[in-house]
Amino acid sequence: MTITLITGANKGIGFETAKQLLELGHVVYIGARDVERGEKAAAALGARFVQLDVTDDASVSSALAAIDAAEGRLDVLVHNAGILGDGVIDGPTALRVFDTNAVGIVRVTEAALPLLRRSSNPNVVTVSSSAGSFWAVNNPDRPEFHLPLALYSASKSAATMLTVKYAKAQPGIKFNAIEPGTTATDMTAAFGIGRSPEESARTVVRLATLDADGPTGTFRDESGELHW
């Protein structure tokens, strides 16, 4: 039985990832900031719910403590929570975007490490983005070339780097970052682009179900490793 926590999983790619992992037999905890939405999503899927706001230390600690008490370990952690931070670029917006998209990864990872170390095949997946890749944003053939999302892009660069650094610091745990593909979600609705969350979630699920000898410290999409 594989115990999995997905942050920001009450909708979009996180919700579809939870659905697909449940179908594979995982025990899935849906982490969501909003209790009502999170409980509704968990009930719809047959998943479990923990209130988890990645920008709040107490919320993160409480969520991981609840999983520890119920399960005694964590096998898979999926960092999915994220915000776009489009519109005005200023200090408060930058702090909010980085707090969610990058610092939140640190909060949740640090709280989860003791539980992950008790797993026989611990695995951490960061839902990152090629919008944070120097290679992609400077390549006219890539969709990221035209995205005017400075704060989101910068925060996803940080998310990918954190993933690589954690992989080096924690050799007993797999850490990989995924570019799930341009996806039509609530977050990207204004751009009118992307494929279904269900399709993109499949790329996340592939990384979340790696064998013990799977790769670590990589940034990839469904086709393999990416430049960044």
Task: Catalogue the active-site residues.
Answer: 129, 156
- Please choose, from the candidates 193, 187, 162, the residue with its C-alpha nearest in 3D space to the C-alpha of residue 176: 162
Round to whole Å and give the CA distance between 52 and 178: 22
Q: What is the DSSP letter of 10?
A: S
Residue with tokens 């990589």: 218
Round to whole Å and give the CA distance between 120 and 97: 34
Q: Output the CA torsion 23→29→106→190 (10° steps).
A: 70
